[in-house]
Every structure is written in C-alpha cells, then in structure tokens.
Amino acid sequence: MIWQKVYPDYLKRARQLGFSGIEISDGTITMSDEVRREAISRAAEMGFRVFSEVGRKEWSPQTGLADLVADLKRDLAFGAAKVIVEAMEVGQSVGIMDAEGNPSEEGLKTLIQAAGGPQKIIFEAPIRHQQEIFIDRVGPEVNLGNIPPQEVLVVEATRRGTTGIPFMTAYKDSV
C-alpha cells in the first residue's frame, strides 16, 4: 500500500473493517527509515497495534545479525508493539536460521537482549523442530509466527509440556 501511495486510505479502510493491527514490512520492497517511521507512527496514531517485520525474504549480506538487531531496535523506537523476525515459509537460510532451519544461539540471545526481553519479538518458526527449540530455549510463552495451521495444536501441546522437547526433557529429568 505504501508503494502504491494509498497507505492513508488503506488504514482508514482497515479501521472501518474492524482491524486492530497492522504489519509494516519491507521484506519485498525497499523502504527508507523515514518512510518506515512514518508508516509505523501513522498506524499507531490511528490506534492500530503495529507489528513490524525485520529481515529479507532471502539471505543476503544486508540481513546479517547486526542489521537485524539495528532494524529491531529502530522499529521498537519508531513505535512498533512487536517485531517479527523473518523466517519465511521454508524456515531455512534466512534471518537467524541456518541452512538446516536451526536458529542461531547467538542470534537468538542477541535479539532478545536488544529487545529487552522476548516479549516484543515474534519469531517465525514454520518447521516443527524450530517451534520446539524456541519453546525450549525461550520458554512456553515465546511469541511464534508463521505456524502452519496443521501445527497449531502440536505447538500448544508443546507449550504445555505434553509433547515435544519439554516433555522429553521433563521425562529425562525424572528418570
């Protein structure tokens, strides 16, 4: 909507339709910091809860950890309620995910520290083992996104410790 120059009308229509949140992302288009700041602040001023997304749709030198951290801090400073860390639907070789789809320990710790805790981050985790890793390392209340619909119940069961890594960990500790 920004590149089509209809963003103000888009926000008005979204409000009329009852939407309460808006995502701001430059995963497919390039957006200057000024345009991004304006997009986030305009939506927030209209009462929307703003979710921004950092990271590109493909791995490139521009999406290294330092860039993700800088973008996360920037968007939080601009007024985003939460920042989504891109992992796409494939969940591999993008953002903090390696070629096998495992999140970088350094990336995970660095992003959480930069945000002042995990509450303001949504980690995209489309692959089951990623969901288990995030729940195990960050905790059951970790914000996860890009979950395939058929995985939602498994994610919730894993959060509650009845399946996946938390269950196996609890079982090993009790033996």
Fold classified for 1-124: TIM Barrel (3.20.20)
Confidence (pTM): 0.85
Compare 36 and 98 and report the one with higher pLDDT: 36
Structural domain boundaries of the chain? 1-124, 127-175
The tens digit of pLDDT for each residue in 120-158 reads 999 999 999 999 999 999 999 999 999 999 999 999 999
- Summarize the confidence of residues 56-71 as an average pLDDT: 73
The pLDDT of residue 62 is 47
- pLDDT tens digit string along 91-106? 566 778 888 888 999 9
What is the chain's mean pLDDT, rounded?
87
Q: What's the rounded Cα separation, in Å, for the pair 154 and 10?
A: 35
Locate the DSSP E strands across the chain.
Answer: 21-25, 49-54, 82-85, 121-124, 143-145
Identify which of 80, 71, 64 has the alpha carbon closest to the alpha carbon of residue 114: 71
